[in-house]
Amino acid sequence: MRKVTLTLLIVASMALGGCYESTDITLHDPGVYRGGSDPLLAKQASPEQRARLGERFQMGQTDR
């Protein structure tokens, strides 16, 4: 009888423990990007890349 009571207590405590729910609130921080990082961002910071795009524009899109 004692063993059964002990087992029931353990099972009950484990079952109730499984129902635990975190009460921490996840606050929404609007406007903060949550996705993956884009390697292009680092590339665009280089002056060479900007110069290439500028040359490309002058080469292809200016009026002739």
Partner 1 sequence: MARMKFLCDAERCIECNGCVTACKNEHEVPWGVNRRRVVTLDDGVPGERSISVACMHCTDAPCAAVCPVDCFYTTDDGIVLHDKDLCIGCGYCFYACPFGAPQYPQKEAFGVRGKMDKCTFCAGGPEDDGSAAEFEKYGRNRIAEGKLPICAEMCSTKALLAGDGDMVADIYRERILKRSTRPQTWGWGVAYKADS
Q: Tell me which residues touch partner 1 (CB under 8 A).
A: 29-41, 43-45, 49-50, 52-54, 56-58, 60-63
What percentage of the chain's residues is helix, strand, coil (to nearest 5)? Answer: 55, 0, 45
Least distance from partner 1 to the Cβ atom of residue 49, Å: 7
Residue closer to partner 1 by CB (options 3, 64) is 64
Q: State which residue, 16 or 32, has the beta carbon closest to partner 1.
A: 32
| Two tokens, residue 18 | 């499984």
How many whole angstroms separate alpha carbon 46 and alpha carbon 56? 16
Amino acid code (one letter) for 35:
G
Closer residue to partner 1 in complex, CB, 20/33: 33
